[in-house]
Amino acid sequence: MRNLDHNAGAPLKPAVAAAMAIGGNASSVHGIGRAARAAIEDARERVAALVGARAGDVVFTSGGTEANNLALRGTGMRRRLASAIEHPSVLRAVPDLEILPCDEDGIVRLEAVDGPALVSVMAANNEVGTVQPIRDIAATVRAHGGLYHCDAVQMAGRLPIDMGELGIDLLTLSAHKLGGPQGVGALVAGPRVGDLAPEMRGGGQERGRRAGTEPVALIAGFGIAATLARHEIDDRARIAALRDRLEAAITDMAPAARVLGRDAPRLPNTTCVTMPGVAAETQVIAFDLAGFAISSGAACSSGKVGPSHVLAAMGVDPCEAATAVRISLGWDTTEDDIGAFTAAWASLYARLGHARAAA
Amino acid sequence: MAYNDKVLDHYENPRNVGTMDKSDPSVGTGLVGAPACGDVMKLQIKVNAQGVIEDARFKTFGCGSAIASSSLVTEWVKGKTLDEAETMKNTQIAQHLALPPVKIHCSVLAEDAIKAAIADYRAKAALDTTKKAS
Amino acid sequence: MSGNGTNGETAQRNIRLPIYMDYQATTPCDPRVVQAMLPYFTEKFGNPHSRSHSFGWEAEQAVETARGQIASLIGANEKDVIITSGATESNNLALKGVAAFYRDRKDHIITVKTEHKCVLDTARHLEQEGMRVTYLPVKPNGLVDLEELKAAMTERTLIVSIMAVNNEIGVIQPIAEIGQICRERGAFFHTDAAQAVGKIPLDVEAMKIDLMSISGHKIYGPKGIGALYVRRKPRVRLKAMIDGGGQERGMRSGTLPTPLCVGLGEACRIAAAEMVTDNERLRRLSKRLYDGIVGAIPDVFLNGDPDQRIPGNLNLSFAYVEGESLLMAIKDIAVSSGSACTSASLEPSYVLRALGVEEEMAHTSIRFGIGRFTTESEVDFAIETVLKHVGRLREMSPLWEMVQEGVDLKSIQWAGH
């Protein structure tokens, strides 16, 4: 099985697995507990370094979903806005969320930002890979006295991101999207964010911002993954080249196929491409049988197969959107994988696609 | 929490643990703290005719820092006059042992203990003088 | 003994130092749990919510198997098990979630003064939001008085939250009786069973439990995972605390961490299979530890009911020896002077205070937590170490000296500071 669904989650890197052989309760005062505490603080620094933050800003959570919820609910900002293409964990975090529209490439429009508010706009979209103009968003939000929350789950470890330099106030990370373990993530809350009201109450861990025994093995793995992610960031030109080759091959053989969001800045590893006349679900099953894991959308909707809210927000025609699949590459993707996938795509298209009808 | 090496040294090899005869007029005894607060220190000094502390002994119920603070104080006061010993400040103890903020009260207690022992000795001496005078 | 024994092998016995005796703070992962989890970190790394390929299906299958293993240990239907990040989240979700859903109809919560911090903290938060909360006292043995529970209940009582086994003193509350009382009076019954699952038999049907919190790392599973049992028949509804992709029947969003789910499931499977033999062994070791210490030196007291308790927990007060100095002395044995969450603070344990243990005794308590991997020679080493250092510290203790001289400590006017 070749994994071309890295945005859903990637295999643990071997060095990450090695770092995870640690136990103990970090709140215990004995030596074993103190070793656990030290491992957590080391990881905190590593995670902070990945995104240009201070270690003290990092609040470990059970994952990206919890971190997004905490960001939307915890800052005390009454008015909250988010782009239409956000992850459901942002869109469903608060009942009175105001939605910011986006253009056909998936870039958010900020006209509605006209006063102090928490504004949540993801760094890069999980389905299409569109990268938002983060610096401009931050400047606009700040000029209106608000706080900018950036869900960087898909961008961290793929492109460089520096909270301080870009002006991001809150940033969400998920370990398993950057080669770390599932079950851990972080909300990084920068200096402009005051006290975060905790969602999880109890033993006062994470400086009162998130209670619960810290999963030391997961956090240690997250830390190493954050450090190793730099290699992948450095590898981005190679990955982008593979992705571009794939897109070119597909559009060459099927001019009617469309790469969505192609004209906007995108993650180097992600492509969302249509196969005219072939339903996304049919494609993923066929590709699975052929030995490729891809996705027909975000892998979070508990099996609900519905039209993508992201593609809808970009104004993609529903019939066309129904034929779009996401292919996402990663550190272990090779030229051979791309060659094999291109061949499989061609064969499937010849069998089921409009190409057959035209022939 | 991790302990400083000096605290560990005093804790593992406490100096001058013991008891002197309370009724001896040359001995001053200070008993400070409370069991309910988690620390009690008993500090005793033996003072010679020149007003110099010849010997000191302690017993402490308390955490490692409390034991170390009292052990350190017994070392420091030996050979000092009462007036010199009285000027000792808890900050010196806390600094020497590098006590973290949550343990500062241990050094305060040690300062209280030495002051109480000196006061006890002086009270006894005054009583003794009164007795002799009458 | 000195510090240089740490991490080495003791000369006399083949035991590794430090010895771990803090099984209530956390447990090591059972090697079988680790083995079960490993493939899901590497080759079977799929996202269990990916419906489009076999990586996802394989992960989903593994999660559902684990859910079945969790359910089976507590006599539940697997559909009623919600996976969370741990018992803290489960407890928060149970109380906040139920309160948010039903608060217009009922606004009273009953819990107990000796609950885990995360239950108490959540209850306080709900109080600030306008709920009424009764914090029941406990008897000197640590158990809830059922008559007091009945007296506290009204028709406004929405939920009763009482832990199955206390984390500090190991006492087992009369869960079945509490369940019966709650059912009769139409209140939901939530139990924080983090310390109980896998250690005492639990059956959500027989015990009439409506919600139950479970922790992975207290039962030889991984950290970062837990579960909340939420009854469907009759149905308990709750408002989710973490919103997003709508996983876990909408009650808990977020990608399920497959390896951790597998680990929790395997931990539950092992617990179910080995509970009886594990307990028998622990009872023997616990008795050995208790007899070895209490039989040898005076003025050592067991906190909590001597019979209604799990064998893995011995909370002892060593009169006239301050707990933290004893912890330092016996540093080759990793124990705790209270719950791990609060032991960094100087306050004596609120649990012991609730039992009516006097402050001076509460300051002298040590929790010995033994478990699946504790050996007899470790217990013997612990006894030897404790006896030696309690003796040494008592020789250094002015209180011990006064008591030996016949002074009644209560007769003294202590100057507090």
pLDDT above 70 for C311: yes
C118:A211 CB<8 A: yes
CA distance C72 to C62: 15
- When CB atoms are compared, the residue of C322, C346, C415 closest to B102 is C346
Q: Does the pLDDT value for residue A358 go beyond 60? A: no
> For chain C, what is the mean pLDDT?
91
Closest CA relative to residue A127, chosen from A351, A299, A292: A299
Q: What is the average per-residue pLDDT within A284-306?
A: 72
Residue A87 has a CB neighbour count (10 Å cut-off) of 29
Q: What is the DSSP string of chain B?
A: -PPPHHHHHHHHS-SSB----TTSTTEEEEEEEEGGGTEEEEEEEEE-TTSBEEEEEEEEES-HHHHHHHHHHHHHHTT-BHHHHHT--HHHHHHHHT--GGGHHHHHHHHHHHHHHHHHHHHHHHHHHHHHH-
pLDDT value of residue A112: 94
pLDDT value at residue A355: 53
pLDDT band of C416, cuts 50, 70, 90: low
Question: Considering chain B, what percentage of its residues have pLDDT values greater than 70?
Answer: 96
Report how many Cβ contacts below 8 Å link chain B to chain C: 84
Closest residue to C52, CB basis, from A88, A92, A284: A284
Question: In this complex, is the C-beta atom of A282 within 8 Å of any C-beta atom belonging to chain C?
Answer: no
pLDDT exceeds cutoff 90 at A22: no
Helix residue spans in C200-332 (DSSP H): 258-294, 323-329
* CA atoms within 13 Å, Cβ hemisphere of A64: 33
Residue C253 touches partner A, C-beta closer than 8 Å: yes
- Provide mean pLDDT across the span A145-152: 97
How confident is the model over C251-279, as a mean pLDDT?
A: 96
Residues from B contacting C (CB-CB < 8 Å) are: 1, 3, 8, 11-12, 14, 17, 19, 31-42, 59-64, 66-67, 102, 105, 108-109, 112
> What residues of chain A lie within 8 A of the CB of C342, using their CB?
203
Contacts of A65 in chain C (CB under 8 A): 242-245, 253-255
A272 phi, psi to nearest 5 deg: -120, 115
Q: Which residue of B has its CA nearest to C318?
A: B61
Which has more pLDDT, A146 or B127? A146
What are the residues whose beta carbons fall under 8 Å from the beta carbon of C32, sequence distance 6 or more?
Answer: C266, C270
What do you get for the CA distance between the two ends of chain B, in Å? Answer: 57
CA distance C161 to C365: 26
In Å, what is the CA distance from C174 to each residue of C146, C160, C164, C283?
9, 13, 8, 20
Interface of A with C in 320-359 (CB under 8 A): none
pLDDT over threshold 70, residue A356: no
Mean pLDDT across the stretch C284-313? 97
Kindly tell me if the per-residue pLDDT of A308 is higher than 50: yes
Of the residues C29, C182, C268, C341, only one is catalytic, namely: C341
Across the interface, of C26, C254, C340, the residue whose CB is closest to A65 is C254
Q: Model pTM?
A: 0.87
Nearest CA in chain C to A13: C42
Instruction: Provide, as residue numbers in chain C, all residues whose Cβ is less than 8 Å from the Cβ of B59.
Output: 396-398, 401
Option in A20, A23, A296 nearest C26 (CB): A23
Inter-chain CB proximity C42 and A17 less than 8 Å: yes
Question: Cα separations (Å) of C326 from A37, A135, B62, C331?
Answer: 22, 55, 9, 8
Q: In this model, does residue A267 exceed pLDDT 90? A: yes
Contacts of C135 by beta carbon, 8 Å cutoff, 6+ apart: C111, C112, C113, C120, C123
Compute the mean pLDDT over every residue in chain B, rounded to the nearest whole number. Answer: 91
Distance in angstroms (rounded) separating the CA atoms of residues B35 and B12 = 22
Q: Hey, which residues does A188 pair with through a beta bridge?
A: A58, A171
Q: Do B34 and C3 touch (CB under 8 A)?
A: no
Q: Which of B12, B21, B25, B37 is catalytic?
A: B37
Q: Round to whole Å and give the CA distance between C327 and A30.
A: 8
Count of alpha carbons within 13 angstroms of residue A270, beta-carbon side: 31
Is the pLDDT at A64 greater than 60? The verdict is yes
CA distance C231 to C183: 13
Q: Is the pLDDT of residue C11 over 90?
A: no
**pLDDT number for residue A106:** 84
Q: How many CB pairs under 8 A join A and C?
A: 264
Give the residue from C260, C45, C256 showing the smallest Cα distance to A13.
C45
Give the pLDDT band (50/70/90) at residue C13.
Answer: low
**Residue A241: HSE in the Cβ half-sphere, 13 Å Cα cutoff:** 6
Provide the token pair at A312: 């809808």
pLDDT at C239 over 60: yes
Asked whether the beta carbons of C311 and C368 are under 8 A apart, the reply is no
| Mean local confidence (pLDDT), A299-316 | 67
Q: What is the pLDDT of residues C346-377, one digit of tens each?
A: 567 889 999 998 888 888 899 999 999 999 99
For range B101-112, the mean pLDDT: 91
Q: Please provide the average confidence, as pLDDT, over all residues in chain A.
A: 90
Lowest mean pLDDT among A51-65, B41-55, C46-60, C174-188: C46-60
User: Is C7's pLDDT higher than 50?
Assistant: no
pLDDT number for residue C8 = 44
> Do residues C14 and C375 make contact, with C-beta atoms less than 8 angstroms apart?
no
- Read off the tokens for C113: 């003064």
Residue C113 has pLDDT above 70, yes or no: yes
Q: Which pair of structure tokens corresponds to residue B37? A: 């607060």
Portion 15-34 of C in contact with A at CB < 8 A: 18, 20, 22, 25-26, 28-29
- A359: pLDDT strictly greater than 70: no
- The 10s digit of each residue's pLDDT in C61-97 is 999 999 999 999 999 999 999 999 999 999 999 999 9
User: Do β-strands A80-83 and A118-120 pair in parallel, antiparallel, or remain unpaired?
Assistant: parallel
